[in-house]
Amino acid sequence: MPSGKFASKEWRGKKVPAIDGLPIDRGVAMLLGTRHYNTGVPCRNGHRAPTRTKDDRCTECSSVRRAELLEKRHRELREMNEYKRGNG
């Protein structure tokens, strides 16, 4: 595969446009069986990260959301432990 930002993948003998080695279309990504694709267009939060093929979600948005949920859960656990110490 040629190096650089824009390249192409081979699928059934045809060249498929790709960005950073990922297909630029979800339908093509599904046909190729890749987990991610990259349209080059930013998501609604401004990330230019690859998008997951299975659920059409930006990988960067997913990472940010996961970090927020983990922080919320840790905060809840700390509060619960503090409550138990004070009332236990």
Q: What is the mean pLDDT of the chain?
A: 85
Secondary structure (3-state) at 80 = helix
- Per-residue model confidence as pLDDT tens digits over 11-21: 566 676 777 88
Residues 59, 38: Cα–Cα separation, whole Å: 10
Give the SS3 label for residue 52. Answer: strand
pLDDT at 48: 92
Q: Is the pLDDT of residue 2 over 50?
A: no
The residue-averaged pLDDT of 9-38 equals 82
User: What does the domain layout of the chain look like in residue ranges?
Assistant: 6-87
More confident residue, 32 or 17: 32
**Can you tell me the mean pLDDT for 74-82?**
94
